[in-house]
A = this chain, B = another copy of it.
């Protein structure tokens, strides 16, 4: 069993070497063939999805699956159109492979190029959503990375049909390699995949926090993702309160189920009595449950109309509600807010509302998070809004890619040294030649084909 999986992984790893050198035109042709294959086989996809939906409905009736999961599983004709559009968007993206990042003359005729290249073999482990396969496969193909897909068992039929259509379309394109994309199916395979650090260079999880955490805790392969999104907004005593109302409302209410929504509101004591009552009324009207520290509870306790306020406990400061629940704390200073955020937060996204430029600067420097917002909603922290085209994930990792990550997160670089029989011995000892270390404005292609 494990052997068969390992064979698939080794096949993909081997193919990854070839895929790294496939031309842009060939990759774009493969992507267009993939889009076309989905368009030509809508009925087949809907039919397979129907089987998954029926099985999921049964499990739901037994209480083993939630309606939310059934919804995520559902593929409609317009969702297929979305998949097709997504693939065609990737065709439009510039080929990120083989770009000269830096060029340096070490000595006359000895030139060092830093050149972008694919990471190699990516493992994507995802829960129900069948739209992960076209999205990730198109990004990986364009960036020259081979990919192992491991989807949830609930989407077994949908994933299989979609994967086969895409993979056949890609592999039948002239100049493409075969074996670069592999689909794993049974549930036991997750742990097998996590153990294959000898072959898999990067894991991308798509699923719940618990799911990501499990992966992070059970593999030596780097994981691009985040387990928690405990985001804060700090309303400073020098805040423009009209901005504060807008940002605090948006950060919590606009879409609370996601990782970049605010979970804890920190308010400077100086302005708390002025700011909080109106803010609380806005939240209350929107159905937000408030969990207050002692001071904010006292302030709000004087207002009798509020439907849902409670006292916060220590755990609240560490909780990602992903829901219309908000913890509120009054702080004496920005420093206290910063310490709270760095201590209880998840280093994802945190905001300050202030008009003081020095405080803005200090806040950006001292908050140890992947996104820091100045007078703007935490909800902006997202690959699409950050202009990345397609999002690979949001990383709270501090190595490689951090924050919302686009296709650039699937790339690394290699150094290419172009010489002419050069040897280090000439640069050592008493008569050592000196390195020039002069910046070059050249591309690696010129250097390799010139000679």
Contact = CB atoms under 8 A, between A and B. Distances in A.
A371 B415 CA distance: 5
B375 A421 contact: yes
A137 interface: no
Determine the main DSSP class of A at the interface with B: mixed
A77 interface: no
Contact of A364 (B18, B381, B448, B451): B448
Interface size class of A (residues with CB under 8 A): 35 or more
Interface stretch (A85-93, A159-167, A239-247): A239-247
A415 B369 CA distance: 8
The quantity of this chain's copies bound in the complex is 2
A287 to B, nearest CB: 16
A387 to B, nearest CB: 4
Among A110, A366, A419: residue with most chain B CB under 10 A: A419
Contacts of A62: none
Contacts of A423: 246-247, 249-250, 254, 376-377, 379
B414 A403 contact: yes
10 contacts: A106-B385, A217-B220, A240-B421, A249-B423, A373-B417, A374-B416, A380-B417, A380-B424, A402-B414, A403-B415
Interface of A: 17-18, 20-21, 98, 104, 106, 110, 112, 115, 119-120, 201-202, 216-217, 220, 222, 240, 242-244, 246-247, 249-250, 254-255, 338, 342, 353, 355, 357, 360-362, 364-366, 368-377, 379-381, 385-387, 398-400, 402-404, 412-425, 427-428, 435, 437, 444, 448-449, 451
